């Protein structure tokens, strides 16, 4: 990574307060010889309002707020779950789907409640008897902002899967326990960080961002 905005950074600021994201970025960027710090290390930075209409807009908002506050380049991730049976919701509202301050388990419980309420089903079962409820997609928008130039480098990634009526695996975070990968015959929460990074929305977005940076 010679000659781009991250070359001089041995520690990359990731503008997030989500520990699950921090772990995934730390794992991925370690291979490039980079450490990671996050907004959890800078409690003096006020909460950043995520009021954009798109994942990309919210990623830019978070990257700019952190980069301007700290005076160094900052990488932000805005991500979420689009569920086909819900017309693409919760989408950009994924973090606050079950209300402001919702926990991952609140959000997962609400997702199962809502899908059950509309009788969503794909009419298929897994060998363990769990039911496939709806196709879904994780989306990740990344924005890297350089306060020295005011410029952004952006990338997006997605991964397709299916929401199941019961959890599989205890890795990952957020909606991972309910996200089944038919193409692998495993839940995304059953994957190691390495395996998740190789196929996930975040992994795909990061690969695309690094390709852009190398150009």
Ligand X SMILES: O=P(O)(O)OP(=O)(O)OP(=O)(O)OC[C@H]1O[C@@H](n2cnc3c(O)ncnc32)[C@H](O)[C@@H]1O
- Position 79 contacts ligand X (CB under 6 A): yes
CB of 67 to ligand X, least distance (A): 14
16 binds, among Mg ion, ligand X, none (CB under 5 to 8 A by kind): ligand X
Q: Annotate 68-110 with DSSP letters as a single string.
A: HHHTS-EEEEEEEEEEGGGTT-BGGGGGGTTSTT--HHHHHHH
End-to-end distance of the chain based on CA atoms, in angstroms? 10
Rounded-to-integer distance, Cα 118 and Cα 115, Å: 5
53 is in an annotated binding site: no
* Radius of gyration, CA atoms only, the chain: 18
Say which of 78, 106, 160, 165 is annotated catalytic: 78
- Position 64 contacts ligand X (CB under 6 A): no
Taking the least distance from each CB to ligand X, the nearer of 101 and 127 is 101
What kind and span of H or E run contains 187? Answer: strand 186-187
CB of 87 to ligand X, least distance (A): 17
Taking the least distance from each CB to ligand X, the nearer of 18 and 134 is 18
Annotated catalytic, 78? yes
Residues 6+ apart with CB under 8 A from 88: 82
**Binding residues for ligand X, per CB under 6 A?**
16-18, 21, 50, 77-81, 94-95, 104, 107, 138, 172-176, 200, 202
Which residues are annotated as catalytic?
A: 78
**Binding residues for Mg ion, per CB under 5 A?**
95
């Amino acid at each position: 990574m010679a000659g781009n905005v991250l070359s001089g950074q041995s520690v990359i600021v990731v503008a997030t307060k989500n520990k699950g994201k921090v772990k995934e970025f730390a794992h991925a960027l370690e291979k490039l010889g980079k450490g990671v710090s996050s907004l959890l290390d800078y409690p003096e930075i006020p909460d950043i309002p995520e009021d954009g209409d798109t994942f990309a807009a919210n990623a830019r908002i978070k990257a700019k707020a952190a980069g301007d506050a700290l005076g160094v380049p900052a990488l932000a991730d805005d991500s979420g779950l689009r569920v086909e049976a819900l017309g693409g919701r919760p989408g950009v509202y994924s973090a606050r789907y079950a209300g402001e301050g919702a926990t991952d388990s609140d959000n997962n419980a609400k997702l199962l409640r809502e899908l059950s309420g509309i009788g969503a089903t794909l009419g298929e079962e897994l060998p363990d008897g769990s039911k496939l409820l709806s196709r879904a997609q994780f989306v990740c928008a990344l924005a890297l902002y350089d306060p020295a130039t005011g410029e952004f480098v952006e990338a997006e990634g997605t991964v397709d899967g299916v929401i199941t009526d019961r959890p599989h695996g205890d890795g990952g975070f957020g909606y991972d326990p309910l996200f089944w990968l038919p193409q692998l015959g495993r839940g995304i929460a059953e994957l190691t960080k390495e395996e998740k990074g190789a196929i996930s929305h975040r992994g795909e977005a990061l690969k695309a961002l690094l390709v852009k940076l190398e150009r």
